A and B are shown apart, each in its own frame.
Chain A
Amino acid sequence: MVHEDYKEMIPARALSALDAAEERVLNEHLDNCSECRKELEEWQSTAAALAVVADPVEPSPEVRERILGEVRKDLSGSNVVPLRSTSRNVWSSFGSLGAIAAVVLFVALLVGLFVLWQQNRAYREELASKNDFIQLVNTPGARVSELKGIDLGAGATAKLAHDAAGHAILMASKLPKVPAGKAYQLWFIAPNKPPVPGKTFVPDSTGNAVLKDEMAGAALDAKVFAITVEPASGVSAPTGPIYLRSLEVN
């Protein structure tokens, strides 16, 4: 069977309509062919459209309660089993070369674990920030404004969520690197009032940034939000070029 033969089978696979033997053969091919995997994803997207033909039906409220009940149980239960240390004497089991190899492997393992730990921490921090953002957005009376990059900041985007109490979270991406000694600074702008300064921040190496800020009283009436580049310590009134700004919110 050649590549084209497999491709012929993909639409039926997206509908789960292949006979068992054909599906097994195609699945083996999919394991080794990224092009066909991509094509299957596209056909699955088309097939998924058929779902909306079915009449929407409300499940009983108990289903929601059952699901969330299971989730809460999962969240509250901590089934961490402590690792048991072994009493085996490694050194007596290996010769000197084996011992050296074991040390090298152990060091490599430690380095690997450290790298993984750092990646995991960064990932968790990012997720935690997104969680905070979503929770803030779900607060009654919360608003979200979209900021777009202009001029020097073209291509950058950001979203700023804030609630009536002035808790604000900015999530920005694709920010250009700031020059040494400089930082981005957030501004809250109410009609016919001078801009109120927010905190300064510097994006990470990928141009992403998350900033939590508290809006001072005068900033609570803000209808426009902007980001400029300023001295790293921040300024009380904007002096630098505007990189991102929102449109006016009513």
Chain B
Amino acid sequence: MCFFAANPFSPGARIIFRLQPRPAQEDDVALLKAIAARNEAALAQLYDRYRAILFGLLMRILNNREEAEDVLQEVFLQVWRKAADFDENRGRPFTWLVTLTRSRGIDRLRTLAARERVAETSAREVSEETSDAATDAFKSEQRGLVTKALSQLPDEQKRPLMLAYFDGLTQSEIAARLGAPLGTVKTRMRTGLISLRELLAGQGESFGF
């Protein structure tokens, strides 16, 4: 086939194309590869993209702005040093970042051994300083989907999940906190996470980071 025989400007072939935002995940993979190659601008871009959501997560875990900012700094310096360890075949960049951030946050929480102490720090700090990013359509949509899925879980399944994820409690600690048998907590936690996965999967292509 000759090039000119398939004239791209023939009326039938003309397709108006507007530059669409590239899928966030693909962009993130490219950024992590650039960071692995020691590209400072790529790290800045990744930070700007996820700072609000990751800092929000750390604030939820630590309830202390100074500690949360310190951990956020540690997280991104670890990203700088360890970006080459990210394997796109083993998971999404978002999962990698969140898992790293939460792990650091929970470690700090346990190190401080001050759950009660920092819990007194006003929860207003979180709600009053909500980022502009909260209005970002993409993040809002994802948040809405997860919140909706969680609302469909029975409270007895949801509470162990939230206590584990945001408070860093182990199953034994959760059992003690809720006054429930350990075996029951294990079952409810497992069932809750399975249900959450099924509910999110039910969102089809509209869900994904």
Residues of chain A whose beta carbon lies under 8 Å from any beta carbon of chain B: 8, 11-12, 14-20, 41, 43-60, 62-64, 66-68, 70-72, 74-75, 124, 127-128, 130-131, 133-135, 138, 143-145, 151, 187, 189, 191-192, 195, 224, 226, 228, 238-242, 245-250
Which chain A positions have C-beta within 8 A of B43?
Answer: 67-68, 71
Contact check, B193 vs A57: say whether CB atoms are below 8 A apart: no
- Does A59 contact B146, Cβ atoms closer than 8 Å? no
- Mind listing 11 A-B residue pairs with CB under 8 Å? A17-B189, A44-B99, A52-B139, A55-B59, A56-B52, A56-B55, A59-B52, A71-B40, A124-B37, A134-B41, A224-B9
Given contacts A16-B103, A52-B139, A135-B41, 13 further A-B contacts (CB under 8 A): A15-B165, A19-B170, A19-B171, A44-B95, A45-B92, A46-B197, A51-B57, A70-B73, A145-B17, A228-B3, A240-B2, A247-B15, A250-B17
Given contacts A44-B95, A68-B40, contact A52 B146 (CB under 8 A): yes
Majority secondary structure, B binding face: helix
Q: List chain B positions with a Cβ less than 8 A from chain A.
A: 1-4, 6, 8-9, 14-19, 22, 30-31, 33-34, 36-45, 47-48, 51-57, 59-60, 65, 68-69, 72-73, 76-77, 80, 90-92, 94-95, 98-99, 101-103, 106, 126-127, 129-134, 136, 139, 142-143, 146-147, 150, 160-162, 164-166, 168-172, 174, 186, 189-190, 193-194, 196-197, 200, 209
Q: Which of A17, A60, A127, A192 has the most CB of B within 10 A?
A: A17
Report the minimal beta-carbon distance from B70 to chain A, rounded to whole angstroms: 9
The 8 closest A-B pairs by CB, nearest first: A247-B17, A238-B3, A127-B37, A56-B52, A54-B60, A17-B164, A48-B98, A15-B164
For residue B113, give the distance in angstroms from its CB to the closest CB of chain A: 15
- B130 and A55: CB pair below 8 A? yes
Q: Which residues of A contact B31 (CB under 8 A)?
A: 134
Q: In angstroms, how far is the closest chain B Cβ from the Cβ of A129? A: 10
Asked whether, in the complex, the Cβ of A70 is within 8 Å of the Cβ of B194, the reply is no
When C-beta atoms are compared, the residue in chain A nearest to B171 turns out to be A17
Cα distance, A15 to B169, chains bound together (Å):
9
User: Are B52 and A57 closer than 8 Å at their CB atoms?
Assistant: yes
CA of A138 to CA of B22 in the docked complex: distance in angstroms?
Answer: 13
Are A16 and B164 also in contact (CB < 8 A) when A49-B200, A53-B150 are? Answer: yes
Q: Of B72, B103, B171, B193, which contacts A18 at CB under 8 A?
A: B171
Question: Which of A59, A62, A144, A239 is within 8 Å of B51, CB to CB?
Answer: A59
Complex CA–CA separation, A127 to B83 (angstroms) = 13
Smallest Cβ-Cβ distance to B101: which chain A residue: A51
- Is there an interface contact between A58 and B95, defined as CB atoms closer than 8 Å? no
Instruction: Tell me which residues across on chain A come within 8 A of B37, comparing CB atoms.
Output: 124, 127-128, 130-131
CA distance A54 to B63 in the complex (A): 12
Enumerate chain B residues within 8 angstroms of A241, measured Cβ to Cβ.
1-3
